[in-house]
Amino acid sequence: MFLVGLHGINALGYRHYKRHFGKKVQEYLRQTISANPEYFDKLDVYQTDEWELRREDLKMFDEIGRGTFGKVYLGEGINLTSVCGVKFGKCAIKTIPECASNAERLHFLIEASVMKTFNTAYIVKLYGVVSEGQPVLVVMEMMDQGNLRDYLRARRPNSEENTNNAPLPTMISYFKWASQIADGMAYLESLKFCHRDLAARNCMVANDETVKIGDFGMARDIYYHEYYKPAGKRLMRNCSMDGT
C-alpha cells in the first residue's frame, strides 16, 4: 500500500510539473536555441548517418582558427567524397575539446546536422562528421582567405593588420559580397531557417574572393557563462590540459 501510494504521489507530482513548468521550459529552449521547430526536434540525440567519416581517412595539420566551441585545423581528406558529391582533399576541420560536456558535444554536432540540409553556392559546405571517438570532428569546405572581418581589416589603409600593404577593396567588390551574403540569407529564409548571428566574422572568404555564410553554432548563448574571452580571441571554453 505504501509503495502504491508513493507511486501515486510521484505521478501527481510529475503531472503538476509538466502542466505548470514543462511548456515553459520547452518554450524557453525553443526561443533560446532556434526559431526553427525542426532544429529543436533534433536536440535529443545525434544519430550517425551517411555523413559519418572515418577518422583514419583524415589528416590534421596546423591550427588556422578558433571558434565558439574549439579550434579549427587545416585538414586533408584521403580519397574522400562527401554526401553532396564533392571529392575533397584540403578541408577545414573543426574540433571541440575533450573536456567538453556531453551537452556541448551534442550542440556541436547539431550545428553540423543543420548544415546537412543546405545546398547552395553561398553557404560554406559541410563535407562530413566524425562523431565516434574523441575528439569530435566536423569537416567543412576550406575557405582559404579566412573570415570577412579579418579580411577587411587586413586591407584598411594604415592599419596594423595590413602588414602586406594590401589595397582597399573596390566598391564593386563590396556590392558583390553583399549580394552573395544576401543570396545565402534568402536561401536560409526559404527554408524558414534563422541564422541568429550573421556578422562579418561569420562570413568566410574563398581564394577567388567569393564570400559564403558559415558558423551555425546557435546554442552559444546557453553556455556563455562557461566560457571566457581572452584578448583578441573569440569565445573559447576554459579548460586545462588535464581536462578539468
* Residues of each annotated binding site: 94
Left, alpha or beta for 53 (phi > 0: left; psi -120 to 50: alpha)? beta
Four-residue CA torsion sign, 103, 104, 107, 112 = negative
Q: Rounded distance, CA 211 to CA 124, Å?
A: 9
| Residues forming the active site | 197
- Exposure class string for 1-32: b at 16+ Cβ within 10 A, else e: eeeeeeeeeeeeeeeeeeeeeeeeeeeeeeee
Where in the chain does DSSP place strands (E)?
Answer: 58-66, 71-81, 87-95, 126-130, 137-140, 203-205, 211-213, 227-228, 236-237
Binding site for ATP, by residue number, is 94
Contact 117, 190 (CB under 8 A): no
CA-based nearest residue to 214, from 232, 200, 233, 229: 200
CA 176 to chain CA centroid, Å, is 25
